[in-house]
Amino acid sequence: MSELVAVGLNHKTAPVELRERLASGGDDLNELLAALRDDAGLQEAMVVSTCNRVEIYGVARSWAQAGERALRVLATRRGVAADELTRHAFVRGEREAASHIFRVSASLESMVVGEPQILGQVKDAFDLARSHGTVGPILDRCLSAAFRGAKKVRTETAIARGAASVPSVAVDLARSIFGDLGECAALLVGAGEMAQQAGVNLRSAGIASITVVNRSVDRGQVLAAELDAAFVPWEGLAEQLQRADIVIASTGAQRPVIDRALLRPVMRARRGAPIFLVDIAVPRDVDPDVLRLDQVFLYNIDDLQGIVADNLRSRGSEAERAGALLEGEIDEFLGWQRTRAIGPLIQRLNERARTIADGELERLGGRLRDLTPAQRKAVESLAHGIVRKLLHPPITALRGAAGGDDPYAARALAEAIEALFQLEGDEAPAAAPARAEEGGGEAAIPAPVPATSRTSR
């Protein structure tokens, strides 16, 4: 019986140091996909590897066992002790696996709920796995439905509305003041992570030009190249302040690097043109005293963090609506999966019954030789007709359970039919993979670890 499984670790379950050691890309990712198929026994597999998560989505005959094997493969390939990995990992099967995949794709499991990057990352992972031949009908249907659900969440809820990080809020504020940024010039004072994020957001907003000013020439030039920006040494700060419309300061200085003494001649040179200063540094980079100058607008990190908090609270309430929307998509996928899965079982049941009937007719062959062809055909029709009538109630019940609302009843009935008709050892036809039932949950990973350490929800 093929089942859906999701296994791995993410920002909710594991520290960044461990996530970094497990991250895969390029040839490593290609080899991992092959190992999951060949060594972990996954019938289908894909790997989502980002800075916040390393997760495997797959299909196997037993989701719990497959999850354990996948973790061992991941630990071995990345040189991580198995017990260290299991302390921070989760294994989910069937409905819990489907729910996780849908929620990750819709950004409900992201560090910043509603961020748009994860959907593209999951799509890239899916396309890579498909190009390597490790995506089959179940993952294909599941991920296609998950992408559709993610689009529905974005169009029917406000989960992505409102910037959710300090740098993105800074850019949103700039747009509220200047409108179209296509003719504006931005100055990044500092070249750290916050400056990098601000620069990315500025580029996404269509800024006309970006200049980076930084004390470290090497770091400043690296960021400038990354953002397709200009780099100016620290000594050119005052001159660049005269040219910039938007200034985002994020250095590691212990005292303000922009004060009223520096800015007074700058504003005279600007001839009344306003300047928008965003100070996202701690300690502050811009002395609040600059607000005494005309046409100077200043926001500090406390102002921006308040906006971020408001936006995140709004996203939290929208996340509940988004989760409810996804449940309908998840139910539809699992319903398809259950209905599709009974086909191979019914085929095996019919084949077993037909084999028995044909065997009995063959055994009686000597006694039937005096019958006319018409009489012999009537006996054969009688035997096969009795078989069909005997099988009609269990097949009808199986189809009804597969289309019903109780996945456990459908699974129990399927397993009972397999046992009663001795079908447990039969393999489903290769062209029609067996079912992955709804229900299930998290596996007990074989390690002395509290259960709470293995869940990411």
The catalytic site residues sit at 51
Phi-psi region of 149 (alpha: psi -120 to 50; beta: other; left: phi over 0): alpha
Of 141, 53, 66, the residue nearest 104 (C-alpha): 53
Tokens encoding 256: 């303000």
49 has which bridge partners? Answer: 54
Q: Is 249 helix (H, G, I), strand (E, B) or coil?
A: strand
Of 38, 45, 40, the residue nearest 67 (C-alpha): 40
* Half-sphere exposure for 405 (CA within 13 Å, toward CB): 1
CA distances from 423 to 23, 171, 242, 319, 356 (A): 42, 63, 81, 44, 13
Of 101, 141, 139, the residue nearest 122 (C-alpha): 101
Calculate the CA dihedral of residues 273, 279, 285, 287 and round it to 10 degrees. Answer: 60
* Half-sphere exposure for 335 (CA within 13 Å, toward CB): 11
CB atoms under 10 Å from CB of 193, counted, come to: 11
Helix (H) or strand (E) holding 59: strand 53-60
Residues 385, 386, 391, 393, CA torsion sign: positive
Phi, psi of 23 (to 5 degrees): -60, 140
